[in-house]
Homo-oligomer: A and B are copies of this chain.
Amino acid sequence: MTSFREDGYAAVDWAARYLEEVGDHPVLAQVSPGELSSKLPASAPEEGEPFANVLRDMDELIVPSLTHWQSPRFFAYFAVTASEPGILAELLAAATNQVALHWRASPASTELELRVVDWVRQLLGLPDGWHGHIEDTASTSTLAAIIAARHITGRNVVVCSEHAHSSVEKAARMLGMELRKQPTVELAMTTDGSFDDVACVVATVGTTSFASVDPVRALAAKAHDAGAWLHVDAAYAGSAWICEEERWSQDGVELADSLVVNPHKWLMLPMDCSLLWTSRPEDFRTAFSLVPEYLRTPEDVYALSEYGPALGRRFRALKLWAVLRCYGAEELRAVQREHIRLAGAFADLVEQSPDWELVAPQRLSLVVFRKNASDEENEEVVERANRSGEIFLSHTKLDGRYCIRLAVGNARTTEADVRRAWEVLNR
């Protein structure tokens, strides 16, 4: 192996060039299943190769099979950005290779994590005293919340609204719990008593399908009246609470027992960084704490592994720290406001066209719309657009109808990109 410095500069150059040129690639990988596999050797090499070979193969083999989440014209799912300070912080995290089993194994990781997650708590306007830590994804955060809820309540039912994320249903299935998925309207009108056997009510702020917001305050009251736990999934929308004008969707969240918000969705962090807060830290600790002899330490201080499923925890706090510092809160707000403005510009184009309609009001940076045509034609429009490589969109179904989703979330996206999406769809 050549020197780490030399290989490292080459890796930085590769990443810099990738980010400079990412808008030139087809957004959706233009490959067929198995195409990359067929080019990869069947077995690992016996002899080592220079790192330069890896970088060469990044260009020749890997890039053509990437779907470019960093592209300014990535509008699918929830569009995201891995910002420069976040990327470099991942290098630092890997170099220091902290495995934060408990405080002693990494005081820096433990204390920095508690502090920077608390920075975000303040930026979002969440209650004082909430305990927050980092999980990998919202799937894990929601799973952990439901585990805590069952542990504390001794009940076995999870309730959520019809547009809750699939991770809620998956968690219930993994845990062997009963899931009751109800239309939001029915859920809001739930009468006293119907949550009496419920461990956890999951309310969503910013659903994946169309960024709708469940009536959190009402659900919290009903859940707590019945002795159930209220978990709020604001994985996407919660980041927007850094902007005061977006806190309308936070109504009632202060009553939550737990809350998940993903900075890797809309706070410029690379995958993975999911924040899980709880107003009941001791209940979480009761559910998750398990300290075998080989992990006992003389210090009477806690471990963040006592608040979630994993024991070994990597140093994710570094990237959150780096991004919050290098952007600063004002710039993060500016990025989000621009995304919301761009989504608004696109929604205007839809509204002004007789051939298209908005299916739901624009919320945050998401526009849900469809062509005045059959489901099949809408699907064909999306697939043609995606195959063109010029833009990448995804879809959902609302009231049984196929709808197109355009989510703005990349820091490189400009108004020209949004207009181009409109042109491609109308071509």
Stretch at the interface among A109-117, A213-221, A245-253, A351-359: A109-117
Question: Which of B53, B93, B116, B290 is in CB contact (< 8 Å) with A170?
Answer: B290
Query: Cβ of A15 < 8 Å from any Cβ of B?
Result: yes
A15–B92 contact, CB under 8 A?
A: yes
Query: Cβ of A238 < 8 Å from any Cβ of B?
Result: no
Query: Cβ of A143 < 8 Å from any Cβ of B?
Result: yes
| Cβ distance A89 to chain B, nearest Cβ, rounded Å | 7
Asked, given contacts A97-B70, A147-B174, A329-B46, whether A40 binds B111 with beta carbons under 8 Å apart, the answer is: yes
Residues of B with C-beta under 8 A to A89: 54
Number of copies: 2
Beta-carbon nearest neighbor of A173 in chain B: B290
Residues of B with C-beta under 8 A to A241: none
Query: Cβ of A191 < 8 Å from any Cβ of B?
Result: no
| Cβ distance A135 to chain B, nearest Cβ, rounded Å | 10
Q: How many residues of chain A have a CB within 8 Å of chain B? A: 142
Q: With the chains together, A310 CA to B274 CA distance in Å?
A: 12
Query: Cβ of A299 < 8 Å from any Cβ of B?
Result: yes
Question: Which of B48, B63, B310, B325 is in CB contact (< 8 Å) with A54?
Answer: B325
Query: Cβ of A425 < 8 Å from any Cβ of B?
Result: no
A326–B1 contact, CB under 8 A?
A: yes
Query: Cβ of A189 < 8 Å from any Cβ of B?
Result: no
Asked, given contacts A271-B99, A328-B46, whether A54 binds B294 with beta carbons under 8 Å apart, the answer is: no
Question: Which of B9, B76, B101 is in CB contact (< 8 Å) with A77?
Answer: B101
A4–B16 contact, CB under 8 A?
A: yes
Residues of B with C-beta under 8 A to A324: 44-45
Asked, given contacts A49-B325, A325-B45, A329-B44, whether A85 binds B1 with beta carbons under 8 Å apart, the answer is: yes
Asked, given contacts A107-B33, A111-B36, A327-B48, whether A396 binds B293 with beta carbons under 8 Å apart, the answer is: yes
| Cβ distance A156 to chain B, nearest Cβ, rounded Å | 8
Query: Cβ of A397 < 8 Å from any Cβ of B?
Result: yes
Q: With the chains together, A37 CA to B123 CA distance in Å?
A: 18
Query: Cβ of A183 < 8 Å from any Cβ of B?
Result: no
Residues of B with C-beta under 8 A to A99: 69, 77, 80, 271
B98–A67 contact, CB under 8 A?
A: yes
- A7, A67, A86, A383: which has the most chain B beta carbons within 10 Å? A67
Beta-carbon nearest neighbor of A85 in chain B: B51
A114–B37 contact, CB under 8 A?
A: yes
**Per-residue 0/1 for A1-37: is the Cβ within 8 Å of any B Cβ (1 yes, 0 no)?**
1011101110111111011000000001101011111
A50–B326 contact, CB under 8 A?
A: yes
Question: Which of B48, B173, B309 is in CB contact (< 8 Å) with A326?
Answer: B48
Question: Which of B104, B310, B327 is in CB contact (< 8 Å) with A140?
Answer: B310
Give the 5 A-B CB pairs with smallest separation, nearest first.
Answer: A8-B12, A82-B97, A65-B108, A48-B328, A15-B95
* 24 A-B contacts (beta carbon < 8 Å): A5-B12, A14-B95, A15-B91, A29-B104, A33-B107, A44-B123, A62-B112, A63-B108, A65-B106, A65-B108, A66-B107, A67-B105, A68-B96, A69-B96, A69-B106, A77-B99, A80-B97, A94-B319, A136-B312, A137-B312, A173-B287, A270-B314, A294-B396, A294-B405
Q: A residues bordering B, Cβ < 8 Å?
A: 1, 3-5, 7-9, 11-16, 18-19, 28-29, 31, 33-37, 40, 43-51, 53-54, 58, 61-63, 65-70, 76-77, 80-82, 84-99, 101, 103-108, 111-112, 114-116, 119-120, 122-123, 136-140, 143, 147, 150-151, 156, 165-167, 169-170, 173-176, 208-209, 264, 270-272, 287-288, 290-295, 298-299, 301, 309-312, 314-315, 318-319, 321-322, 324-331, 383, 394-397, 405
